[in-house]
Structure 1
Amino acid sequence: MKLFNINKPDDDILPLLEDKINNLTKPKGSLGALEDLATQIGWIQQTLSPQLNYPHHIVFAADHGIAHEKVSLSPQEITYQMILNFLSGGAGVNFLAKQHGFTMKIVDAGVNYQFKPDTGIIDLKIRNETRNFLYEAAMTHEELEFAIEQGAKIVDGCADEGCNVLCIGEMGIANTSASSMWMTCLTDIPLEQCVGAGSGLNSQGVSHKYNVLKQALENYQGDYSTWDIIRYFGGFEMVMTVGAMLRAAELKMVILIDGFIMTCCLLAASKLYPEVLSYAVFGHQGDEAGHKQVLDYLGAKPLLNLGLRLGEGTGALCAYPLVESAVKMINEMSSFKKVQVTKYF
């Protein structure tokens, strides 16, 4: 398995960041979360003048064998249809990425569709879908390793283009089911609290989804190690995301975290390398059942709560202007030392 060298940023710079922020021309603490964000980004980058360079947004896409158990309201073909929509520029993630200046990369990690080679998609397809984890492991050890490695390589490509702030999204019908399994197994939060409506199931549909996942959990014969949980219940797009997050932290990038699925990917990454959490900025709290609980488990403070549940990375992209504002605050506001303003509290 690929190894990562992820270090927590050096805390020695924190008092210097605090002093700079506290001496900007404002009452101490009056810009609230923007001050916390500026501190975190300066800490990640080890500078009093942080920068956000060439932001990239990666969408990893794949299909799930568990979808055949009708755990999602949406049929599996929605995955490839939405990818075609991404490629044509017509999805929610497209206007937000364009609005905020993100370069988009769309990766076929395992979609049950053969895209034409000239569409612009990055073809890293492992197979057309994962296996059905109701009956067997979603992927082999070799497929797991490949997905981790390829997710990391995609981030290397972003870094080569000058990127130091990364947003990640996903597309894959039934991936809330896989995420619920990761959540319950990696946190010991009861499965019932981890299962939600996904793309719009009614109460009867949620009950069916829960029963299928409960049976899958009862059928599981693994060792409950983090790697085995990731392999047995995960999606190819989710595992590539884990690899991408770990590589981004290794490269000391700011990582914008989206909704339930991406938060569960970060949860998995943090069980392998806890230091990855230092690099995470949580964009929002979504409406999917379980998201608040996993955020609380991670001690996260999301920037927004707008009732979003689209996925694709849209919530994290919506939060990006706040990250920009935090960086502009620390770089562009005057200090009491430079202007003739009496320091006030």
Structure 2
Amino acid sequence: MISSTRSRFEAALSALPSPDACAIAAARARQAQLTKPPGSLARLEEIALFFAGWQGVERPMLERGRALIFAGNHGVAVHGVSAFPPEVTAQMVANFAAGGAAINALATLADLEIRVLPIELDRPTADFTRAPATTEAECLAALSIGAEAVEPGLHAIILGEMGIGNSTAAAALAARSFGGAVSDWVGPGTGLDRDGVERKTQVVADALAFHADAPHSPFDTLCRVGGREIAAMAGAVLRARQLGIPVILDGFISCAAVAPLAAATPAIVDHCLAGHCSAEPGHGLLLEKLGLEPLLRLGMRLGEGSGAAVATLIVRAALATHAQMATFAEAGVSSRA
């Protein structure tokens, strides 16, 4: 799990397990014997090899998949950076609990266990244009909540979130981690008009200026311009890596949660798949910075883990074909002319 000290968090980030090369080789050898032309299933074959490496087996599976939906509130919402009021966060968490949200329907379809973890919704983070969003202790606590939601024996996790104002935090995290023009990272989020996007862009610029002289370590960046649900997702990604569990990332916010980690340690995303590329303008740029090619491009922008849940169906197709297809010998089919 994530330790209660930042030094151990940083040490965990510098000691990342690698996939099992022998399992990948065995899975690749199996692929070569399946009743199809080599490479004809393209990305599905790559996904099967990816899962084989992280699960350490020739025929990986997805019997225990978990959707983790973290929720938090953001003090920066006072600047009108969202089309919805902060009260919607708690209201949507109640909707998740009642089974009425998109992620509930999609998680059921993808056969994923769903866990919703609201984090101190009655206590928003600080307005990060004037102070760090969280204290070190608050950030560590959120990292630990995310880590503790990932346990040995899971075959994959998907990450989702709910938090009014968190696309502003995501833009600030991406900009502070990878640089570039602030306007490249800021989008409409829940549906802001052009004036709203301009206001949001200025808020992010103000935040970056306020924290410009502060350390740029992954932990400091999470503390200063992140949020509790965002830090929790980062903690879940790191713990999943320690356990060799593949992660399917959702949209802009879940990818931004790993941005500070990836800027310092690019290999942190080696056990991650990008479920989709959302309609939020900064997401495509962030995926490029992370070196991740999305499984889907459907123009979605809901969050909640919805895109990652849909992508899980693609993963299931990849694992099913890899495990269930007959070999040439089993089918009595000639493999080569």
* TM-score normalised by structure 1 residue count: 0.91
Q: CA deviation at 1:217?
A: 1.3
State whether structure 2 residue 182 is matched by structure 1 residue 194. no
Q: What residue identity is the alignment partner of 1:142?
A: A
Task: Find the counterpart in structure 1 of residue 325 from structure 2.
Answer: 333
Which has the larger displacement, 139-148 or 285-294? Answer: 139-148
Q: CA deviation at 1:225?
A: 2.1
Q: CA deviation at 1:25?
A: 0.4
Task: Find the counterpart in structure 1 of residue 142 from structure 2.
Answer: 147
Q: What residue identity is the alignment partner of 1:216?
A: A
Which has the larger displacement, 267-276 or 299-308? Answer: 267-276
Contact preservation (8 Å) 2:157, 2:245? yes
Partner Cα separation in structure 2 for residue 44 and residue 326 of structure 1: 15
User: Residues 111-166 of structure 1, C-alpha deviation per residue, up to 9 Å, x if partnerless?
Assistant: 13xxxxxxxxxxxxxxx11000010100111111111122111213xx3xx42211
Q: What residue identity is the alignment partner of 1:236?
A: R
Partner Cα separation in structure 2 for residue 214 and residue 272 of structure 1: 22
Q: What residue identity is the alignment partner of 2:155?
A: N
User: Residues 210-251 of structure 1, C-alpha deviation per residue, up to 9 Å, x if partnerless?
Assistant: 011111211223122222111100010000111111101111
Q: Note closer, same or farther for the CA distance 1:266–1:14 as it changes in structure 2 (3 Å cut).
A: same
Q: What residue identity is the alignment partner of 1:282?
A: A
Q: What residue identity is the alignment partner of 1:129?
A: P
Which has the larger displacement, 1-10 or 70-79? Answer: 1-10
Root mean square deviation of aligned Cα: 1.5
Match of 1:232, SS state, is helix
Partner Cα separation in structure 2 for residue 195 and residue 105 of structure 1: 29
Task: Find the counterpart in structure 2 of residue 267 from structure 1.
Answer: 259
Q: CA deviation at 1:89?
A: 0.8
Partner Cα separation in structure 2 for residue 339 and residue 106 of structure 1: 45
Q: CA deviation at 1:285?
A: 0.5
Partner Cα separation in structure 1 for residue 131 and residue 297 of structure 2: 37
Partner Cα separation in structure 1 for residue 149 and residue 217 of structure 2: 26
Structure 1 outlier segments of 4+, above 6 Å:
none
Q: What residue identity is the alignment partner of 1:76?
A: P
Q: Indicate the percent of aligned positions where both proteins have the same amino acid.
A: 32
Q: Note closer, same or farther for the CA distance 1:289–1:33 as it changes in structure 2 (3 Å cut).
A: same
State whether structure 2 residue 297 is matched by structure 1 residue 305. yes
Task: Find the counterpart in structure 2 of residue 166 from structure 1.
Answer: 157
State whether structure 2 residue 143 is matched by structure 1 residue 181. no
Match of 1:138, SS state, is coil
Partner Cα separation in structure 2 for residue 73 and residue 51 of structure 1: 40
Task: Find the counterpart in structure 1 of residue 113 from structure 2.
Answer: 103
Q: What residue identity is the alignment partner of 1:136?
A: A
* TM-score normalised by structure 2 residue count: 0.93
State whether structure 2 residue 272 is matched by structure 1 residue 277. no
Q: What residue identity is the alignment partner of 1:49?
A: R
Contact preservation (8 Å) 1:27, 1:344? no
- Which of 122, 126, 129 is equivalent to 1:131? 126
Contact preservation (8 Å) 1:56, 1:104? yes
Q: CA deviation at 1:265?
A: 1.3
Task: Find the counterpart in structure 2 of residue 292 from structure 1.
Answer: 284
User: Residues 233-280 of structure 1, C-alpha deviation per residue, up to 9 Å, x if partnerless?
Assistant: 001000011111110111111211100001111223334654432211
Partner Cα separation in structure 1 for residue 191 and residue 141 of structure 2: 32
Q: CA deviation at 1:31?
A: 0.6
- Which of 312, 316, 319 is equivalent to 2:311? 319
Contact preservation (8 Å) 2:207, 2:225? no
- Which of 15, 26, 45 is equivalent to 2:36? 26
Partner Cα separation in structure 2 for residue 258 and residue 243 of structure 1: 15
Match of 2:331, SS state, is coil
Q: What residue identity is the alignment partner of 2:59?
A: S
Task: Find the counterpart in structure 2 of residue 52 from structure 1.
Answer: 62
Q: CA deviation at 1:19?
A: 2.1
Contact preservation (8 Å) 1:58, 1:168? yes
Partner Cα separation in structure 2 for residue 54 and residue 236 of structure 1: 26
Task: Find the counterpart in structure 2 of residue 121 from structure 1.
Answer: none
Unaligned runs of 5+ in 2: 1-5
Match of 1:201, SS state, is coil
Partner Cα separation in structure 2 for residue 186 and residue 216 of structure 1: 13
